[in-house]
Structure 1
Protein backbone atom coordinates (compact mmCIF):
# COMPACT_ATOMS: atom_id res chain seq x y z
CA UNK A 1 0.00 0.00 0.00
CA UNK A 2 2.78 2.40 0.95
CA UNK A 3 6.17 2.72 -0.77
CA UNK A 4 8.03 5.36 1.27
CA UNK A 5 6.72 4.51 4.74
CA UNK A 6 5.76 1.37 6.65
CA UNK A 7 3.21 0.71 9.38
CA UNK A 8 3.30 -2.25 11.74
CA UNK A 9 0.82 -2.67 14.61
CA UNK A 10 1.37 -5.13 17.44
CA UNK A 11 -1.31 -7.04 19.35
CA UNK A 12 -1.46 -4.31 22.00
CA UNK A 13 -2.50 -1.72 19.44
CA UNK A 14 0.88 0.03 19.32
CA UNK A 15 1.57 1.11 15.73
CA UNK A 16 5.08 1.87 14.49
CA UNK A 17 5.12 4.36 11.61
CA UNK A 18 8.51 4.16 9.90
CA UNK A 19 9.96 6.60 7.39
CA UNK A 20 11.28 4.02 4.95
CA UNK A 21 13.69 5.70 2.54
CA UNK A 22 16.90 4.70 4.29
CA UNK A 23 18.95 5.11 1.12
CA UNK A 24 17.85 8.78 1.00
CA UNK A 25 18.21 9.33 4.75
CA UNK A 26 14.39 9.40 4.90
CA UNK A 27 14.26 12.76 3.16
CA UNK A 28 10.68 13.80 2.47
CA UNK A 29 9.57 13.49 -1.15
CA UNK A 30 6.18 14.49 -2.54
CA UNK A 31 5.16 10.84 -2.34
CA UNK A 32 6.27 10.49 1.29
CA UNK A 33 4.38 13.66 2.22
CA UNK A 34 1.22 12.24 0.65
CA UNK A 35 1.68 8.84 2.26
CA UNK A 36 2.32 10.31 5.71
CA UNK A 37 -0.85 12.39 5.41
CA UNK A 38 -2.81 9.27 4.48
CA UNK A 39 -1.20 7.30 7.31
CA UNK A 40 -2.16 9.96 9.86
CA UNK A 41 -5.79 9.79 8.75
CA UNK A 42 -5.74 5.99 8.75
CA UNK A 43 -4.14 5.64 12.19
CA UNK A 44 -6.32 8.34 13.67
CA UNK A 45 -9.49 6.55 12.56
CA UNK A 46 -8.37 3.07 13.70
CA UNK A 47 -9.99 2.42 17.07
CA UNK A 48 -7.67 -0.53 17.72
CA UNK A 49 -4.59 1.74 17.71
CA UNK A 50 -3.71 2.99 21.20
CA UNK A 51 -0.38 4.70 20.49
CA UNK A 52 1.89 5.46 17.54
CA UNK A 53 5.69 5.38 17.42
CA UNK A 54 7.28 7.52 14.70
CA UNK A 55 10.77 6.43 13.63
CA UNK A 56 13.07 6.11 10.63
CA UNK A 57 14.75 3.24 8.84
CA UNK A 58 18.51 3.17 8.64
CA UNK A 59 20.99 5.65 10.08
CA UNK A 60 18.91 8.83 9.82
CA UNK A 61 15.58 9.82 11.33
CA UNK A 62 14.82 12.38 8.62
CA UNK A 63 17.18 14.54 6.58
CA UNK A 64 14.51 17.10 5.71
CA UNK A 65 13.32 17.80 2.19
CA UNK A 66 14.22 15.50 -0.69
CA UNK A 67 16.63 17.14 -3.16
CA UNK A 68 14.44 16.32 -6.15
CA UNK A 69 11.44 17.86 -4.36
CA UNK A 70 13.48 21.01 -3.72
CA UNK A 71 14.57 21.18 -7.37
CA UNK A 72 10.99 20.81 -8.51
CA UNK A 73 9.94 23.70 -6.28
CA UNK A 74 12.67 25.94 -7.64
CA UNK A 75 11.55 25.18 -11.22
CA UNK A 76 7.84 25.74 -10.47
CA UNK A 77 5.85 28.97 -10.48
CA UNK A 78 4.76 30.63 -7.24
CA UNK A 79 1.24 29.18 -7.32
CA UNK A 80 2.54 25.63 -7.72
CA UNK A 81 5.08 26.18 -4.96
CA UNK A 82 2.32 27.29 -2.63
CA UNK A 83 0.24 24.20 -3.40
CA UNK A 84 3.16 21.83 -2.83
CA UNK A 85 4.25 23.57 0.37
CA UNK A 86 0.64 23.41 1.59
CA UNK A 87 0.76 19.62 1.22
CA UNK A 88 3.80 19.51 3.50
CA UNK A 89 2.13 21.86 5.97
CA UNK A 90 -1.06 19.81 6.08
CA UNK A 91 0.92 16.61 6.62
CA UNK A 92 2.59 18.16 9.66
CA UNK A 93 -0.80 19.39 10.87
CA UNK A 94 -2.29 15.90 10.49
CA UNK A 95 0.48 14.33 12.55
CA UNK A 96 0.36 17.11 15.12
CA UNK A 97 -3.38 16.62 15.56
CA UNK A 98 -3.32 12.81 15.46
CA UNK A 99 -5.86 11.74 18.12
CA UNK A 100 -3.42 9.18 19.50
CA UNK A 101 -0.23 9.69 21.50
CA UNK A 102 2.66 10.08 19.04
CA UNK A 103 6.05 9.06 20.42
CA UNK A 104 9.17 9.91 18.42
CA UNK A 105 11.87 7.26 18.26
CA UNK A 106 14.71 9.38 16.88
CA UNK A 107 17.30 6.76 15.99
CA UNK A 108 19.56 9.09 13.98
CA UNK A 109 20.15 12.58 12.67
CA UNK A 110 17.33 15.02 11.94
CA UNK A 111 17.77 18.16 9.87
CA UNK A 112 15.33 20.78 8.63
CA UNK A 113 11.98 19.10 8.18
CA UNK A 114 13.24 16.23 10.32
CA UNK A 115 13.34 18.59 13.29
CA UNK A 116 9.76 19.49 12.39
CA UNK A 117 8.81 15.81 12.41
CA UNK A 118 10.28 15.39 15.89
CA UNK A 119 8.45 18.53 17.02
CA UNK A 120 4.98 17.22 16.12
CA UNK A 121 5.51 14.20 18.38
CA UNK A 122 3.99 14.40 21.84
CA UNK A 123 7.33 13.25 23.20
CA UNK A 124 10.54 12.34 21.39
CA UNK A 125 13.34 10.10 22.64
CA UNK A 126 16.60 10.09 20.72
CA UNK A 127 19.92 8.30 20.60
CA UNK A 128 22.70 10.21 22.28
CA UNK A 129 24.77 10.21 19.07
CA UNK A 130 22.13 12.00 16.98
CA UNK A 131 22.76 15.42 15.47
CA UNK A 132 20.19 18.06 14.63
CA UNK A 133 19.97 21.32 12.74
CA UNK A 134 17.53 23.80 11.24
CA UNK A 135 19.67 24.20 8.16
CA UNK A 136 17.34 26.15 5.87
CA UNK A 137 19.13 29.51 6.12
CA UNK A 138 22.25 27.94 4.60
CA UNK A 139 20.19 27.69 1.41
CA UNK A 140 18.73 31.17 1.66
CA UNK A 141 15.43 29.70 2.89
CA UNK A 142 13.66 29.77 6.27
CA UNK A 143 12.20 27.00 8.49
CA UNK A 144 8.72 28.22 7.64
CA UNK A 145 6.20 25.39 7.44
CA UNK A 146 7.80 23.58 10.37
CA UNK A 147 8.15 26.84 12.31
CA UNK A 148 4.87 26.75 14.28
CA UNK A 149 5.60 23.25 15.55
CA UNK A 150 9.23 23.96 16.40
CA UNK A 151 8.22 27.12 18.30
CA UNK A 152 5.44 25.24 20.08
CA UNK A 153 7.95 22.61 21.20
CA UNK A 154 10.97 24.77 22.05
CA UNK A 155 9.38 28.10 22.96
CA UNK A 156 10.67 31.34 21.49
CA UNK A 157 13.70 31.77 23.73
CA UNK A 158 15.09 28.31 23.02
CA UNK A 159 14.11 28.41 19.34
CA UNK A 160 16.07 31.61 18.80
CA UNK A 161 19.24 29.76 19.78
CA UNK A 162 19.03 27.47 16.73
CA UNK A 163 16.27 28.73 14.41
CA UNK A 164 18.32 31.18 12.32
CA UNK A 165 21.97 30.09 12.54
CA UNK A 166 21.69 26.67 10.82
CA UNK A 167 24.27 25.37 13.28
CA UNK A 168 24.36 21.66 14.03
CA UNK A 169 23.68 20.66 17.62
CA UNK A 170 24.00 17.37 19.48
CA UNK A 171 21.47 15.26 21.33
CA UNK A 172 22.33 16.63 24.77
CA UNK A 173 21.55 20.16 23.56
CA UNK A 174 18.38 18.88 21.91
CA UNK A 175 17.29 17.78 25.39
CA UNK A 176 18.17 21.18 26.87
CA UNK A 177 16.24 22.92 24.10
CA UNK A 178 13.21 20.68 24.69
CA UNK A 179 13.24 19.00 21.29
CA UNK A 180 14.02 15.65 22.92
CA UNK A 181 12.69 14.53 26.27
CA UNK A 182 15.64 12.21 26.73
CA UNK A 183 18.80 11.09 24.90
CA UNK A 184 19.96 7.53 25.53
CA UNK A 185 22.53 5.07 24.16
CA UNK A 186 21.34 3.20 21.07
CA UNK A 187 20.95 -0.07 22.95
CA UNK A 188 18.58 1.63 25.44
CA UNK A 189 16.41 3.43 22.87
CA UNK A 190 13.68 0.81 22.54
CA UNK A 191 13.30 0.45 26.30
CA UNK A 192 13.08 4.23 26.71
CA UNK A 193 10.41 4.45 24.01
CA UNK A 194 8.49 1.55 25.56
CA UNK A 195 8.52 3.39 28.89
CA UNK A 196 6.70 6.27 27.17
CA UNK A 197 4.22 3.97 25.39
CA UNK A 198 3.29 1.69 28.30
CA UNK A 199 1.20 4.14 30.37
CA UNK A 200 -1.13 4.75 27.44
CA UNK A 201 -2.21 1.11 27.47
CA UNK A 202 -3.85 1.53 30.87
CA UNK A 203 -5.83 4.74 30.28
CA UNK A 204 -9.04 5.48 28.38
CA UNK A 205 -8.20 6.11 24.69
CA UNK A 206 -11.04 8.56 24.21
CA UNK A 207 -9.89 10.58 27.19
CA UNK A 208 -6.34 10.57 25.82
CA UNK A 209 -7.55 11.95 22.48
CA UNK A 210 -9.61 14.64 24.19
CA UNK A 211 -6.78 15.57 26.56
CA UNK A 212 -4.43 15.94 23.60
CA UNK A 213 -6.94 18.14 21.79
CA UNK A 214 -7.31 20.19 24.96
CA UNK A 215 -3.55 20.81 25.24
CA UNK A 216 -3.50 22.11 21.67
CA UNK A 217 -6.44 24.39 22.43
CA UNK A 218 -4.81 25.74 25.59
CA UNK A 219 -1.37 26.06 24.03
CA UNK A 220 0.00 28.11 21.17
CA UNK A 221 -2.64 28.14 18.40
CA UNK A 222 -1.62 26.89 14.96
CA UNK A 223 -4.48 28.10 12.83
CA UNK A 224 -5.11 27.80 9.09
CA UNK A 225 -4.20 31.49 8.80
CA UNK A 226 -0.85 30.93 10.51
CA UNK A 227 -0.16 27.91 8.31
CA UNK A 228 -0.89 29.90 5.15
CA UNK A 229 1.34 32.74 6.33
CA UNK A 230 4.23 30.34 6.87
CA UNK A 231 3.72 28.86 3.42
CA UNK A 232 3.66 32.31 1.83
CA UNK A 233 6.84 33.17 3.70
CA UNK A 234 8.55 30.12 2.24
CA UNK A 235 7.25 30.82 -1.28
CA UNK A 236 8.52 34.40 -1.02
CA UNK A 237 11.97 33.12 -0.06
CA UNK A 238 11.97 30.69 -2.99
CA UNK A 239 11.29 33.69 -5.24
CA UNK A 240 14.23 35.65 -3.86
CA UNK A 241 17.84 35.98 -4.99
CA UNK A 242 19.26 34.40 -1.83
CA UNK A 243 17.41 31.13 -2.37
CA UNK A 244 18.47 31.05 -6.00
CA UNK A 245 22.08 31.55 -4.92
CA UNK A 246 21.97 29.20 -1.94
CA UNK A 247 20.24 26.30 -3.63
CA UNK A 248 22.23 26.83 -6.82
CA UNK A 249 25.47 26.72 -4.83
CA UNK A 250 24.34 23.55 -3.07
CA UNK A 251 23.63 21.71 -6.30
CA UNK A 252 26.73 23.14 -8.00
CA UNK A 253 28.82 22.07 -4.99
CA UNK A 254 30.29 25.52 -4.55
CA UNK A 255 30.31 28.11 -1.78
CA UNK A 256 27.40 30.57 -1.71
CA UNK A 257 28.26 34.26 -2.09
CA UNK A 258 27.65 35.02 1.61
CA UNK A 259 29.99 32.40 3.04
CA UNK A 260 32.81 33.94 5.08
Structure 2
Protein backbone atom coordinates (compact mmCIF):
# COMPACT_ATOMS: atom_id res chain seq x y z
CA UNK A 1 0.00 0.00 0.00
CA UNK A 2 1.27 3.51 -0.84
CA UNK A 3 0.18 6.84 0.67
CA UNK A 4 0.26 9.88 -1.63
CA UNK A 5 2.56 12.83 -0.90
CA UNK A 6 4.20 15.38 -3.19
CA UNK A 7 7.77 14.99 -1.91
CA UNK A 8 7.67 11.50 -0.38
CA UNK A 9 6.46 7.96 -0.90
CA UNK A 10 5.25 5.85 2.02
CA UNK A 11 4.99 2.14 1.22
CA UNK A 12 3.54 -0.43 3.64
CA UNK A 13 4.85 -3.95 3.07
CA UNK A 14 2.42 -6.81 3.87
CA UNK A 15 5.19 -8.48 5.89
CA UNK A 16 4.72 -5.74 8.48
CA UNK A 17 7.08 -2.82 7.89
CA UNK A 18 7.03 0.53 6.10
CA UNK A 19 9.51 2.18 3.75
CA UNK A 20 9.53 5.98 3.66
CA UNK A 21 11.18 7.31 0.51
CA UNK A 22 12.45 10.87 0.04
CA UNK A 23 11.25 11.61 -3.49
CA UNK A 24 12.49 14.97 -4.83
CA UNK A 25 15.01 13.47 -7.25
CA UNK A 26 15.13 16.60 -9.39
CA UNK A 27 16.32 18.56 -6.31
CA UNK A 28 18.56 15.76 -4.96
CA UNK A 29 15.99 15.24 -2.19
CA UNK A 30 16.78 18.61 -0.63
CA UNK A 31 14.51 19.72 2.22
CA UNK A 32 11.99 22.50 1.87
CA UNK A 33 9.04 23.46 4.05
CA UNK A 34 6.70 21.11 2.17
CA UNK A 35 8.99 18.10 2.56
CA UNK A 36 9.51 18.75 6.26
CA UNK A 37 5.76 19.03 6.84
CA UNK A 38 5.08 15.87 4.80
CA UNK A 39 7.76 13.96 6.71
CA UNK A 40 6.05 14.91 9.98
CA UNK A 41 2.69 13.74 8.61
CA UNK A 42 4.20 10.50 7.30
CA UNK A 43 5.79 9.71 10.67
CA UNK A 44 2.42 10.35 12.34
CA UNK A 45 0.89 7.74 10.02
CA UNK A 46 3.65 5.28 10.85
CA UNK A 47 3.34 5.91 14.59
CA UNK A 48 -0.41 5.33 14.52
CA UNK A 49 -0.16 2.01 12.65
CA UNK A 50 0.16 -0.63 15.37
CA UNK A 51 0.75 -3.38 12.77
CA UNK A 52 4.14 -2.00 11.72
CA UNK A 53 7.28 -3.63 13.10
CA UNK A 54 9.89 -1.15 11.86
CA UNK A 55 10.53 1.71 9.42
CA UNK A 56 13.12 1.92 6.63
CA UNK A 57 14.09 5.45 5.55
CA UNK A 58 15.40 5.65 1.97
CA UNK A 59 15.78 8.13 -0.90
CA UNK A 60 15.05 7.97 -4.61
CA UNK A 61 17.73 8.82 -7.14
CA UNK A 62 21.50 9.25 -6.89
CA UNK A 63 21.61 11.07 -3.56
CA UNK A 64 20.10 10.56 -0.12
CA UNK A 65 19.69 14.31 0.42
CA UNK A 66 21.61 17.46 -0.44
CA UNK A 67 20.38 19.14 2.75
CA UNK A 68 18.33 22.33 2.63
CA UNK A 69 16.82 23.46 -0.68
CA UNK A 70 18.60 26.61 -1.94
CA UNK A 71 15.40 28.35 -3.02
CA UNK A 72 13.86 27.70 0.39
CA UNK A 73 17.01 29.03 2.09
CA UNK A 74 16.87 32.21 -0.02
CA UNK A 75 13.29 32.76 1.09
CA UNK A 76 14.26 32.13 4.72
CA UNK A 77 17.03 34.73 4.52
CA UNK A 78 14.41 37.38 3.73
CA UNK A 79 12.17 36.46 6.67
CA UNK A 80 12.24 37.89 10.18
CA UNK A 81 13.50 36.17 13.33
CA UNK A 82 10.06 34.97 14.45
CA UNK A 83 9.31 33.31 11.11
CA UNK A 84 12.74 31.67 11.02
CA UNK A 85 12.12 30.42 14.55
CA UNK A 86 8.87 28.82 13.38
CA UNK A 87 10.79 27.09 10.56
CA UNK A 88 13.38 25.82 13.05
CA UNK A 89 10.65 24.48 15.34
CA UNK A 90 9.10 22.59 12.44
CA UNK A 91 12.45 20.99 11.56
CA UNK A 92 13.03 20.14 15.23
CA UNK A 93 9.60 18.49 15.43
CA UNK A 94 10.56 16.28 12.49
CA UNK A 95 13.90 15.24 14.01
CA UNK A 96 12.52 14.61 17.50
CA UNK A 97 9.48 12.71 16.16
CA UNK A 98 11.78 10.45 14.14
CA UNK A 99 14.04 9.86 17.14
CA UNK A 100 11.06 9.10 19.42
CA UNK A 101 9.27 6.78 17.00
CA UNK A 102 8.16 3.69 18.92
CA UNK A 103 9.36 1.21 16.31
CA UNK A 104 12.97 0.65 15.17
CA UNK A 105 14.22 2.81 12.29
CA UNK A 106 16.83 1.98 9.66
CA UNK A 107 18.26 4.65 7.32
CA UNK A 108 19.80 3.60 3.99
CA UNK A 109 22.23 6.12 2.48
CA UNK A 110 23.59 6.47 -1.05
CA UNK A 111 25.29 9.36 -2.79
CA UNK A 112 25.42 12.68 -0.94
CA UNK A 113 24.07 13.30 2.56
CA UNK A 114 24.69 16.92 3.49
CA UNK A 115 23.58 19.25 6.25
CA UNK A 116 20.20 18.35 7.70
CA UNK A 117 20.39 14.89 6.09
CA UNK A 118 22.85 13.94 8.83
CA UNK A 119 20.15 14.82 11.34
CA UNK A 120 17.74 12.35 9.76
CA UNK A 121 20.41 9.64 9.72
CA UNK A 122 21.47 10.36 13.31
CA UNK A 123 17.86 10.32 14.53
CA UNK A 124 17.40 6.77 13.20
CA UNK A 125 18.30 3.80 15.41
CA UNK A 126 20.54 2.26 12.74
CA UNK A 127 21.92 3.29 9.37
CA UNK A 128 23.71 1.53 6.54
CA UNK A 129 25.07 2.95 3.34
CA UNK A 130 27.28 2.76 0.30
CA UNK A 131 31.06 2.76 0.70
CA UNK A 132 31.29 5.75 -1.62
CA UNK A 133 28.52 7.83 -0.01
CA UNK A 134 29.61 11.37 0.85
CA UNK A 135 28.75 13.15 4.09
CA UNK A 136 29.21 16.78 5.08
CA UNK A 137 28.11 19.12 7.84
CA UNK A 138 28.29 21.97 5.36
CA UNK A 139 26.51 24.73 7.28
CA UNK A 140 29.55 26.83 8.23
CA UNK A 141 30.51 27.16 4.54
CA UNK A 142 27.40 29.26 3.97
CA UNK A 143 27.44 31.18 7.25
CA UNK A 144 25.09 28.93 9.23
CA UNK A 145 25.34 26.35 12.03
CA UNK A 146 23.99 22.76 12.28
CA UNK A 147 21.85 23.85 15.20
CA UNK A 148 18.66 21.77 15.19
CA UNK A 149 20.39 18.56 14.11
CA UNK A 150 23.37 18.90 16.46
CA UNK A 151 22.03 16.68 19.33
CA UNK A 152 21.41 13.81 16.91
CA UNK A 153 24.80 14.19 15.23
CA UNK A 154 26.60 14.23 18.59
CA UNK A 155 24.70 11.15 19.74
CA UNK A 156 25.66 9.35 16.53
CA UNK A 157 29.37 10.24 16.17
CA UNK A 158 30.40 11.66 19.55
CA UNK A 159 31.24 15.16 20.70
CA UNK A 160 34.85 15.28 19.49
CA UNK A 161 34.12 14.15 15.93
CA UNK A 162 31.07 16.42 15.77
CA UNK A 163 33.28 19.40 16.66
CA UNK A 164 35.70 18.54 13.87
CA UNK A 165 33.22 18.03 11.07
CA UNK A 166 30.86 20.86 12.09
CA UNK A 167 33.74 23.35 12.29
CA UNK A 168 35.71 22.26 9.21
CA UNK A 169 32.82 21.28 6.89
CA UNK A 170 35.09 18.50 5.57
CA UNK A 171 33.48 15.86 3.43
CA UNK A 172 33.89 12.25 4.55
CA UNK A 173 33.09 8.91 2.96
CA UNK A 174 30.76 6.10 3.87
CA UNK A 175 33.75 4.14 5.15
CA UNK A 176 34.67 7.03 7.47
CA UNK A 177 31.02 7.33 8.54
CA UNK A 178 31.16 3.69 9.59
CA UNK A 179 34.33 4.30 11.60
CA UNK A 180 32.60 7.20 13.36
CA UNK A 181 29.47 5.17 14.12
CA UNK A 182 27.12 7.20 11.91
CA UNK A 183 26.68 4.08 9.75
CA UNK A 184 26.51 0.58 11.19
CA UNK A 185 27.78 -1.05 8.00
CA UNK A 186 28.78 -0.03 4.47
CA UNK A 187 28.65 -1.98 1.22
CA UNK A 188 29.56 -1.46 -2.45
CA UNK A 189 26.87 0.75 -4.00
CA UNK A 190 25.94 -1.99 -6.49
CA UNK A 191 25.20 -4.40 -3.61
CA UNK A 192 23.31 -2.01 -1.33
CA UNK A 193 19.80 -3.18 -2.22
CA UNK A 194 20.57 -6.85 -1.55
CA UNK A 195 22.01 -5.96 1.86
CA UNK A 196 18.95 -3.84 2.66
CA UNK A 197 16.85 -6.95 1.94
CA UNK A 198 19.04 -8.98 4.31
CA UNK A 199 18.64 -6.38 7.08
CA UNK A 200 14.89 -6.44 6.58
CA UNK A 201 14.78 -10.25 6.71
CA UNK A 202 16.81 -10.20 9.92
CA UNK A 203 14.54 -7.63 11.61
CA UNK A 204 11.49 -9.70 10.63
CA UNK A 205 12.84 -12.57 12.77
CA UNK A 206 12.34 -10.50 15.93
CA UNK A 207 9.32 -10.08 18.17
CA UNK A 208 7.61 -6.78 17.25
CA UNK A 209 6.68 -6.13 20.87
CA UNK A 210 10.18 -6.96 22.08
CA UNK A 211 11.76 -4.53 19.60
CA UNK A 212 9.44 -1.75 20.76
CA UNK A 213 10.13 -2.58 24.42
CA UNK A 214 13.89 -2.72 23.82
CA UNK A 215 13.85 0.66 22.07
CA UNK A 216 11.93 2.21 24.96
CA UNK A 217 14.30 0.55 27.44
CA UNK A 218 17.42 1.84 25.70
CA UNK A 219 16.00 5.36 25.51
CA UNK A 220 15.39 5.26 29.26
CA UNK A 221 18.85 3.85 30.01
CA UNK A 222 20.65 6.45 27.89
CA UNK A 223 24.40 6.32 28.51
CA UNK A 224 23.97 3.50 31.03
CA UNK A 225 24.62 5.44 34.22
CA UNK A 226 23.72 3.28 37.23
CA UNK A 227 21.07 4.43 39.69
CA UNK A 228 18.46 2.80 41.98
CA UNK A 229 15.66 4.17 39.78
CA UNK A 230 17.19 2.69 36.63
CA UNK A 231 17.69 -0.66 38.36
CA UNK A 232 13.98 -0.75 39.30
CA UNK A 233 12.99 0.27 35.76
CA UNK A 234 15.00 -2.61 34.27
CA UNK A 235 13.60 -5.13 36.76
CA UNK A 236 10.05 -4.07 35.92
CA UNK A 237 10.78 -4.10 32.18
CA UNK A 238 11.89 -7.73 32.05
CA UNK A 239 9.07 -8.85 34.37
CA UNK A 240 6.47 -7.16 32.16
CA UNK A 241 7.73 -8.63 28.90
CA UNK A 242 8.15 -12.16 30.35
CA UNK A 243 4.46 -12.33 31.20
CA UNK A 244 3.30 -10.66 27.95
CA UNK A 245 1.69 -12.67 25.15
CA UNK A 246 4.69 -12.38 22.82
CA UNK A 247 7.12 -13.06 25.64
CA UNK A 248 5.28 -16.25 26.54
CA UNK A 249 5.02 -17.29 22.88
CA UNK A 250 8.75 -16.68 22.33
CA UNK A 251 9.74 -18.76 25.33
CA UNK A 252 7.40 -21.60 24.37
CA UNK A 253 8.65 -21.59 20.79
CA UNK A 254 12.27 -21.70 21.95
CA UNK A 255 11.62 -24.61 24.31
CA UNK A 256 9.55 -26.46 21.71
CA UNK A 257 12.19 -25.86 19.00
CA UNK A 258 9.76 -24.20 16.57
CA UNK A 259 9.52 -20.75 14.98
CA UNK A 260 7.52 -18.20 16.99
CA UNK A 261 4.24 -16.96 15.55
CA UNK A 262 5.62 -13.60 14.37
CA UNK A 263 8.11 -15.34 12.07
CA UNK A 264 5.32 -17.26 10.40
CA UNK A 265 3.43 -13.98 9.88
CA UNK A 266 6.45 -12.37 8.20
CA UNK A 267 6.71 -15.02 5.45
CA UNK A 268 3.99 -13.25 3.45
CA UNK A 269 5.69 -12.24 0.20
CA UNK A 270 5.44 -8.73 -1.20
CA UNK A 271 3.33 -8.71 -4.35
CA UNK A 272 5.10 -8.14 -7.67
CA UNK A 273 4.79 -4.59 -9.01
The answer to whether the superposition gives a TM-score over 0.5 is yes
SS at match of 2:148: coil
**Which portions of structure 1, spanning 4 or more consecutive aligned residues, are displaced by more than 4 angstroms?**
none
What are the equivalent positions in structure 2 for 1:131-142 lying under 5 Å apart? 131-142=134-145
Shift of 1:25: 0.5
Give the TM-score normalised by the residue count of structure 1. 0.81
Are 1:20 and 2:19 matched, yes or no? no
What are the equivalent positions in structure 2 for 1:66-215 lying under 5 Å apart? 66-215=69-218
Give the TM-score normalised by the residue count of structure 2. 0.77
Aligned length: 220
Aligned partners of 2:41 and 2:130: how far apart in 1? 28
Aligned partners of 1:93 and 1:210: how far apart in 2? 19
SS at match of 1:8: strand
Rg larger in structure: 2
Are 1:11 and 2:14 matched, yes or no? yes
For 2:33, the equivalent position in structure 1 comes to 30
Aligned partners of 2:125 and 2:43: how far apart in 1? 14
Unmatched 5+ stretches in structure 2: 224-273
CA contact (8 A) 1:103 1:193 kept: no
Aligned partners of 2:85 and 2:143: how far apart in 1? 17
Unmatched 5+ stretches in structure 1: 221-260
Aligned partners of 1:5 and 1:205: how far apart in 2? 25
Aligned partners of 1:211 and 1:104: how far apart in 2? 19
CA contact (8 A) 1:103 1:197 kept: no
- Cα deviation, 1:62-85, whole Å, max 9, x if unaligned, reads 111111221121111101110111
CA RMSD of aligned residues (A): 1.3
**Residues 177-186 or 205-214, more deviating:** 205-214
Aligned partners of 2:106 and 2:128: how far apart in 1? 8
For 2:52, the equivalent position in structure 1 comes to 49
Aligned partners of 2:44 and 2:53: how far apart in 1? 14
SS at match of 2:14: coil
Aligned partners of 1:97 and 1:207: how far apart in 2? 16
SS at match of 2:64: strand
Shift of 1:89: 0.6
- Cα deviation, 1:8-56, whole Å, max 9, x if unaligned, reads 1222012110000000000011000000001111111112211111011
Shift of 1:191: 2.5
- Cα deviation, 1:165-196, whole Å, max 9, x if unaligned, reads 11111111111111111111122212322333
The higher-RCO structure (CA 8 Å, 6+ apart) is 1
